[in-house]
Amino acid sequence: MFIILNIMRDLLWSKTEKNVAKKAYDEAYEEECKVVVARVKDLMAHLPEPQAVWVIHDFLSQRRREMDKKYDYRYSVLPSVFARLIREGWLSFEKLEGLGEDKIQEIKSWIRVAEK
């Protein structure tokens, strides 16, 4: 029953909602990548010696691992992904205008769960 409900929920994202979601998701990802770029530039500008270049590799490895885990575009998990992005400041509810109230409420539920 849970599985059936889950599949039905996936199907309930309309084309418009999918467009809104994809745009918001991509923009949040881009914002987060911008910060990664800025940090790499800063690290590059203050390299104590050429051999320290691997510090940048370590940093990128860590960020990539974290972001690959966090950014998951499956519709079944998207509300929890959006909740996390909103909590972390990469996304706002304004960017999600166009999503149905059911999705907004689910995102808010995830935020409440995380804040408990």
Which residue ranges make up the site for its own copies (CB under 8 A)?
Answer: 29-30, 33-34, 36-37, 40-41, 44, 47, 49-51, 53-54, 56-57, 60-61, 64
Give the shortest CB-45-to-its own copies separation in angstroms: 10
Write phi, then psi, for 72 (nearest 5 degrees).
Answer: -130, 115
Instruction: Give the 3-state secondary structure of residue 49.
Output: coil
Round to whole Å and give the CA distance between 34 and 43: 14
Q: How far is the CB of 105 from its own copies (least distance, A)?
A: 30
Rounded CA-CA distance 4/11 in Å is 11
Between 51 and 115, whose beta carbon lies closer to its own copies?
Answer: 51
State which residue, 7 or 37, has the beta carbon closest to its own copies: 37
Closest CB 73 distance from its own copies, rounded Å: 14
Show Cβ contacts of residue 103 under 8 Å, excluding neighbours closer than 6 positions: 13, 17, 78, 79, 96
Query: Shortest gap between Cβ of 41 and its own copies (angstroms)?
Result: 6
Rounded to 5°, the CA angle 5-10-11 comes to: 95
State which residue, 3 or 51, has the beta carbon closest to its own copies. 51
